[in-house]
Amino acid sequence: MAFSKPKIPGTAQHFLECGSEDCVRNCEFYCNSCHQQMCKQCRDQHLKSKKNKNHEVVLYQHRRRQLPVEKCKIHPTKEIDILCKECNVPLCSKCSTMQEHHGHIFTDLETIYTDKFELCQKEISKIHNYFIPTSQDLQREVQEDATEVKQIMDNIRTSMKAEAESLKNMVDTVLSEKMEELHQIEKSLLEKLKSQEKTFNDYIAYLSDLVKEFQSYLSSTELTNVTTKLPENIKIQSIPETMKPVTPEFSLPIYSKKDVAKLLGKITVTDRKEELRSVEPMEIPPTATSMKSTSEQTKQDKHVKSDKKQTMSLSVSVTKVREFKVPGVDDVYHVSLDQSDRLWISDMFGNLVQTDLQGNVIQKIETSDGLGYHTVTQDGDLIFTDKDKNVINRITQDNNITEFIETGDWIPLSIHSSHINGDLLVGMKKDREAKVTRYNKTGKELQNIQRDNKGQGLYRIPRYITENINGDICTSDYWKGVVVVNKSGQHRFSYTGQESGFDPYGICTDVLGHILVCDVISNTVHLLDQDGQFLSLLLTQQQGVKYPRSVCVDDENNLYVGQLSTNTLTLFKYTK
């Protein structure tokens, strides 16, 4: 069988195709010996040939990377393809026969290259999926601590100023009381002195009268008046006795600046040692089986579940139908389908509008901001979360708004109304914990999903949530990627993107059980099957999609895509 050069898809919505000529089936396998990608049928035919019986055929994702062509500088007609383990030098096959490498051990350079290539990819993936997000989270924690420190200091300043003002008021009150006390003492003393002054006035008046009497005697011309009327023993009343007042004394208080400081409270810096910030350990995914043999893969093929749903055919057509602007929003962060050919559309600022399919606004409400925070029930009611009040609101079709569910100290982030049974699935977070809670139609809590069977947290920031046709709960998590659990809450799989970074936003499923999720790093929409296998990049910038934030598919395979920095909603026809 003739194989052509591997086919690279011209547009992102195509699957990786078989490398054999005139074959357009999906590529599943890879021959490490001749470096060809092939479908199952071509693989079987390839291995039937006697010359290929020793070829190593593996699953495509386990392929060995083809060594870049590099000519030997010593033997220009030869390609470098082996490594001298003794000298750690890449060589061509002819170099290995040279005297300086006699007796040395050689190894396949392509194997080493593949291992190093995969190592680099793993390290890049770890950096994008763990180190950068974890560092950003810790950075946000530092910023939150800085804000908290400023708030605490402002509170202390306010308390000190209030205490100082209270002390000032107290000083004024005590001063007023002391002044009044001093006034009363002064009044009492002055009254006593005034009484003494009157006593002396009376006494002086008495003395004046006595002087006048004596002078009358002296001026008399009649001797009898002096000799007979003037008494022998003249007795002048003694000077009245009075008490010298005792004035109060004022003792100055003895206090220091420290005494005043104590009155304003004590600033205590705890001697508790600073604690290291908690860094969540990196989750180590299960080790992929390395380069399985063809026979092992054949055994696996025989054990594929017979009831696995048929996925969409190899050729996927995503055709742009039209687009329209949505007045009242700045961008399109989430779309919920209404039953009456209407849409609910929200932006990152909490503006939530209802429109028809031409973009005409029917109504608008103001909410707290969110991402996948609204949904429409089977009865046509709008349900949306309020992360400021920790409640879930319901708006009935007659526009009656009620606080439907209170979530306590858990902050509700995302919500989805099940099309299977009408249950509400709510993604929540509290501090560094997160969970998904299931409520029935009446708001009764039925189920909490938080950890896997190893006790590890499944979620960190579940900002979008949906349900697949088989009852799986699919969550788009800022930290964890796409997390899928079955309806019992058992972890099925997680998807963290391809070889580059992955930052998932809007998520939805289609009528065949495929999972569609927006990736804002690569500006694409990823298409997965219901078991988490990556199928293709359904939309890229080539289809006019930039900064995708929301994605939604209706029963007629109409695909709605919303983006950042524009209030334009784009409609695609999504068919096989």
* Residue 274 pLDDT exceeds 90: no
Give pLDDT, residue 314: 39
Q: How many residues does the chain have?
A: 576
Give pLDDT, residue 27: 87
The Cα angle at residue 546 between residues 543 and 549, in degrees rounded to 5: 115
Return the minimum-mean-pLDDT range out of 53-57, 238-242, 298-302, 470-474: 298-302
Give the tens place of pLDDT for each residue, 472-504.
Answer: 999 999 889 999 999 999 999 999 998 777 889
- Three-state DSSP string of 258-274: HHHHHHCCCCCCCCCCC
Return the minimum-mean-pLDDT range out of 52-61, 265-274, 281-290: 281-290
Q: What is the C-alpha to C-alpha distance for residues 425 and 435, in angstroms, rounded to an integer?
A: 10
- Distance in angstroms between the alpha carbons of the first and the last residue of the chain: 29
Give pLDDT, residue 8: 43
Tell me if 563 sits within 8 A of 309, measured CB to CB: no
Give pLDDT, residue 313: 38
Q: What is the C-alpha to C-alpha distance for residues 119 and 365, in angstroms, rounded to an integer?
A: 50
Per-residue pLDDT, averaged over 417-437, amounts to 93
Per-residue pLDDT, averaged over 446-469, amounts to 93
Give the tens place of pLDDT for each residue, 89-131.
Answer: 999 988 988 888 888 999 888 888 878 887 887 888 788 888 8
Rg (CA), the chain: 47
- Burial, 256: exposed, middle or buried (Cβ in 10 Å; 0-12, 13-18, 19+)? exposed
The Cα angle at residue 76 between residues 71 and 77, in degrees rounded to 5: 95
Give pLDDT, residue 49: 86
- Residues of the chain with pLDDT > 90, as a percent, come to 40
Q: Name the DSSP letter for residue 345.
A: E
Going through 269-410 in order, the beta strands assigned E by DSSP cover 317-325, 334-337, 342-346, 351-356, 361-366, 374-376, 382-386, 391-395, 401-406
* Residue 275 pLDDT exceeds 50: yes
DSSP run (H or E) holding 145 = helix 132-219
The Cα angle at residue 74 between residues 70 and 79, in degrees rounded to 5: 30
> Which has the closest alpha carbon to 558: 570, 549, 547, 546?
570
Q: What is the C-alpha to C-alpha distance for residues 547 and 234, in angstroms, rounded to an integer?
A: 127
Spacing of C-alpha 66 from chain mean position: 41
Q: Which domains does the chain have, with CATH numbers?
A: 29-112 (3.30.160.60), 113-262 (no CATH), 316-575 (2.120.10.30)
Q: What is the C-alpha to C-alpha distance for residues 300 and 530, in angstroms, rounded to an integer?
A: 19
Tell me if 433 sits within 8 A of 450, measured CB to CB: yes
Q: How confident is the model at residue 145 (pLDDT cuts 50, 70, 90)?
A: confident
Return the minimum-mean-pLDDT range out of 75-79, 188-192, 220-224, 539-543: 220-224
122-131 residues labelled b (16+ CB within 10 A) or e (exposed): eeebeebbbe
Q: How confident is the model at residue 290 (pLDDT cuts 50, 70, 90)?
A: very low
Average pLDDT score over the chain? 84
What are 80's strand-pairing partners? Answer: 92
Q: How confident is the model at residue 463 (pLDDT cuts 50, 70, 90)?
A: very high
Tell me if 542 sits within 8 A of 11, measured CB to CB: yes
Give pLDDT, residue 571: 92
Tell me if 551 sits within 8 A of 525, measured CB to CB: yes
> Residues with Cβ < 8 Å from 98, sequence gap 6 or more?
none
Amino acid letter, 425: L
The two most distant CA atoms of the chain are separated, in Å, by: 184
Higher-pLDDT residue of 129 and 437 is 437
- Helix and strand tally (H, E) in the chain? 6, 30
> Which has the closest alpha carbon to 550: 408, 400, 296, 343?
343
Whole-model pTM: value is: 0.49
Return the minimum-mean-pLDDT range out of 280-294, 454-468, 473-487: 280-294
> Which has the closest alpha carbon to 420: 523, 513, 291, 352?
513
DSSP run (H or E) holding 44 = helix 40-48
Ramachandran region of residue 436, left (φ > 0), alpha (ψ -120 to 50) or beta? Answer: beta
Give pLDDT, residue 284: 56
Higher-pLDDT residue of 475 and 83 is 475
- Burial, 203: exposed, middle or buried (Cβ in 10 Å; 0-12, 13-18, 19+)? middle
Q: What is the C-alpha to C-alpha distance for residues 224 and 151, in angstroms, rounded to an integer?
A: 107
Give pLDDT, residue 480: 92
Take residue 445 and report the two structure tokens written for it.
């809590």
Q: How confident is the model at residue 293 (pLDDT cuts 50, 70, 90)?
A: very low
Give the tens place of pLDDT for each residue, 361-396.
Answer: 999 998 988 899 999 998 899 999 999 899 999 998
Q: CA-CA distances (angstroms) from residue 1 to 7, 21, 43, 47?
A: 16, 8, 10, 10
Give pLDDT, residue 404: 92
Q: How confident is the model at residue 305 (pLDDT cuts 50, 70, 90)?
A: very low
Give pLDDT, residue 454: 87
Return the minimum-mean-pLDDT range out of 158-162, 229-233, 235-239, 566-570: 229-233
Q: What is the C-alpha to C-alpha distance for residues 365 and 378, in angstroms, rounded to an integer?
A: 21
Q: Name the DSSP letter for residue 25.
A: S
* Residue 340 pLDDT exceeds 50: yes
Ramachandran region of residue 440, left (φ > 0), alpha (ψ -120 to 50) or beta? Answer: beta
